[in-house]
Amino acid sequence: MDGQRHRTGLTGFASMPPAPPAHPATQDLEALAAIRDLLAGTRFALLTGAGMSTDSGIPDYRGPGSAPRSPMTYQEFVRDAANRQRYWARNHIGWSHLKHADPNKGHYAAAELERRGFLTGLITQNVDRLHEDAGSRNVIDLHGRYDQVMCLDCGRTYSRRLLAGMLEELNPEFLARAEGTGLVEMAPDADATVEDEALIRSFVVANCPACGGTLKPDFVYFGENVPKDRVAKSYAVVDEAAALVVAGSSLTVMSGLRFVRHAAKDGKPVVIINRGATRGDDKATIKLEAGVSESLHWLAAELPPL
């Protein structure tokens, strides 16, 4: 999805990144060649973060040009009905736009690397499901998925699309009114920052259709633990690999950083491709500060067959 498509409807997306170059910059080719040579003949694990999806029009949390944010924590969500109202109002706006996001060439490159047998698995910190949309199959959605919601009381899950229909029935004209407010900032989890407090307070929250309980997006909030089975599967993917490649993650949270530390502790090469510094830079065998999508696209084309 290009920037123009993302800007239809609500205006003023303050977090929108600049358009990346179509190909790796000349100064990056030497580092990419070194990465290619390091990975040639091996199978590696791929860990992706929000920087993977910025070329699809989804802004990240911490990359260059992103606006400072304080995402709602799990504790804030569960303890206060007003917080849930605020969250679902913003999420309803964000979902109406981010559901249209398309995979970019980085997602397709990851799928191609998998198809050619290079990947032991793909671990993503993103909840946008764009890897799956691009054709990747062996994907661990470490933080969950934003196309599902779950009931905290009965445990049932529902599609986010079904919930969107429920919210539209409960809140007719809400999106049209939100569009008239002007500046709206987006986040990778379909959250949106809206300044109109009266609009937020008017929002009616939907309950679980089965038990009337509290609905929550089926992804890991800040302050919430990643399920142990996903962590175990991710470690297994790294253990099976000869190297670890990190693409588009600042590694600020431990959920991703632990795999870098694990690989480095086992003496495996760690490649980090990210615009800006990461918490794992001191463990990197090669660090490339460059666009993720064009870099992975180049590697998928240049790596020799296994």
The CA angle 215-219-221, to the nearest 5 degrees, is 90
Gap between the Cα atoms of 266 and 268, Å rounded: 6
Query: Which domains can be identified in the chain, with CATH numbers?
Result: 28-58+104-143+226-306 (3.40.50.1220), 67-100+147-219 (3.30.1600)
The rounded distance, in Å, linking the Cα atoms of 12 and 7 is 8
User: What pLDDT score was predicted for residue 21?
Assistant: 44
Could you tell me the sign of the dihedral formed by the alpha carbons of 44, 45, 50, 54, in that order? positive
d(CA 65, CA 169): 36
Report, in angstroms and rounded to the nearest whole number, the Rg of the chain calculated over CA atoms.
20
**To 10 degrees, the CA torsion angle through 144, 148, 152, 155?**
-100
Task: Determine the pLDDT at residue 179.
Answer: 77
Could you give the dihedral angle defined by the CA atoms of residues 154, 201, 183 and 221, in that order, rounded to the nearest 10 degrees? -30
The reported pLDDT for the residue numbered 27 is: 77
N-term to C-term CA, the chain: 32
260: left (phi over 0), alpha (psi -120 to 50) or beta: alpha
pLDDT of residue 280: 98
pLDDT of residue 175: 87
**For position 12, what pLDDT does the model report?**
28
Q: Of 92, 107, 131, 143, which is the active-site residue?
A: 143
Tokens representing residue 64 in the block: 């260059």
pTM for this prediction = 0.86
Distance CA 83, CA 71 (A): 12
Is residue 23 among the annotated active site residues?
no
Contacting residues for 150 by C-beta, under 8 A, at least 6 apart: 156, 157, 158, 215, 216, 217, 218
Rounded to whole angstroms, how far apart are CA atoms 290 and 301?
Answer: 17
- Region of residue 143 (phi > 0: left; psi between -120 and 50: alpha; otherwise: beta): alpha
pLDDT in tens, 105-149: 999 999 999 999 999 999 999 999 999 999 999 999 999 998 999
* Regions of the chain short of the pLDDT cut 50: 1-21, 63-68
pLDDT at 283: 98
